[in-house]
Chains A and B, each alone.
Chain A
Amino acid sequence: DAGITQSPRHKVTETGTPVTLRCHQTENHRYMYWYRQDPGHGLRLIHYSYGVKDTDKGEVSDGYSVSRSKTEDFLLTLESATSSQTSVYFCAISGPGELFFGEGSRLTVL
């Protein structure tokens, strides 16, 4: 299995609070991604990183920011969580090429 760890795995928070999700990899892959998955849908790309301090937006980036200060860590921040951001968030890595996913973080915003 690809060495990808997401934390926290589950979080319940209230509208308006900041939330940070962490993705840690041990594979030394250049590319890292954050996707979200909502019921009945495939995954949608939020942001991605192509190197330390190099990030770019994906399809659904509004309301999210990311940072990558080390090759192994990619952080996703919701500055002020909203109920529409209730979702399962997946981190992925690649060389680029084949994508490998973490186990997901379930976020509930009340």
Chain B
Amino acid sequence: GIQVEQSPPDLILQEGANSTLRCNFSDSVNNLQWFHQNPWGQLINLFYIPSGTKQNGRLSATTVATERYSLLYISSSQTTDSGVYFCAVDNTNAGKSTFGDGTTLTVKP
């Protein structure tokens, strides 16, 4: 099956810093999503981005499907950005997504 690698596995930032999270995948995909799992365990949809660039406030994402990677940018980080960020990709037509192991982000005040 498709392989998904996220980097870095852990990231510690001071509040206000910027960061870039990366997701590499081993095959072409139909769908790609970024999720934030907050400290309470909820999975929050950030971006649905099989290709191109999207922005939502301080967060933006870019997927280069031909080169099989996606980037999540977080600017002016806040303590509430802490948690685990997952990339999930789907190369089926049934929405059967494969998840990476996540990037754990800690933002310190």
Contact = CB atoms under 8 A, between A and B. Distances in A.
The answer to whether A and B interact is yes
Interface of A: 31, 33, 35, 40-45, 48, 50, 56, 58-59, 88, 90, 94-101, 103-104
Most buried by B among A33, A94, A95: A94
Interface size, B (range): 20 to 34
Contacts, number: 58
Contacts of A35: 99
A2 B8 CA distance: 30
Contacts of B100: 42
B89 to A, nearest CB: 11
B50 to A, nearest CB: 9
Contact of A41 (B35, B97, B101): B101
A58 B100 CA distance: 16
Interface of B: 1, 4, 31, 33, 35, 41-43, 45, 48, 86, 88, 93-102
B92 to A, nearest CB: 9
A59 B1 contact: yes
B86 to A, nearest CB: 6
Most buried by A among B4, B33, B95, B97: B95
Most buried by A among B42, B94, B100: B94
Given A40-B101, A48-B96, 5 more contacts: A35-B99, A44-B99, A97-B31, A99-B45, A104-B43
A86 to B, nearest CB: 15
| Pairs of residues from A and B, 8 with the lowest C-beta to C-beta distance, nearest first | A42-B99, A96-B95, A101-B43, A94-B95, A98-B48, A43-B99, A31-B95, A42-B101
